[in-house]
Amino acid sequence: MAATYPLVDRTACSIARALGLLGDMWSLLVLRELFLGVHRFDQMHDHLGIARNILAARLKRLVAAGLIEKRAYQAHPPRFEYHLTAKGIDLHPVIVGLMQWGDRYLADPPGGPVQLEHRGCGQLTHLVPVCERCGASVTARDVRARART
């Protein structure tokens, strides 16, 4: 059966490149912690139950990729906090999308342990993809892939 989408050079595929950077569980969970307001190494270590060397390696990689930045909060001994950059904040829909999918299909009890509240109005909210031109909700059945011209 022929593909219904344009063939894309795998080395140019944005999904493959993103997974090359974020495709392990610990990187995504570090980002989750940052979105939840956890900024210090020891707090992340405690929350995640991750080995210190693995956490240090993930933080270093995310800093090198420009997704997070280190900020000193103590000089002696040197201690740092980690904060999302604009590039990291742009991953919010990805993290929320994974959470919502997990809440729907994997959570016990259904619905998951965290709800998102809109700061503007105080109501519970969820991520809904919309067309930036017409504002209509968009699902996988509402879009098709086409080659960039």
Residue 108 in this model has a pLDDT that exceeds 70: yes
Contact (Cβ atoms closer than 8 angstroms) between residue 67 and residue 87: yes
> For the chain, which residues make up each domain, given as ranges?
10-112
d(CA 145, CA 134): 18
Q: Is the peptide bond before 129 cis (omega within 30 degrees of 0)?
A: no
Nearest to 88 by CA among 50, 115, 61: 61
pTM of the entire predicted model: 0.87
CA distance 25 to 37: 19
The confidence band for 13, taking pLDDT boundaries of 50, 70 and 90, is confident
Q: Of 124, 123, 129, 126, which is closest to residue 142 (Cα–Cα)?
A: 129
Three-class SS string for 53-87?
HHHHHHHHHHHHCCCEEEEEEECCCCEEEEEECHH
pLDDT digit string, tens, across residues 19-32: 999 989 999 999 99
Assign a CATH topology to domain 10-112. Arc Repressor Mutant, subunit A (1.10.10)
Q: Which whole number is the average pLDDT over 2-24?
A: 78
Indicate the DSSP class of residue 108: S
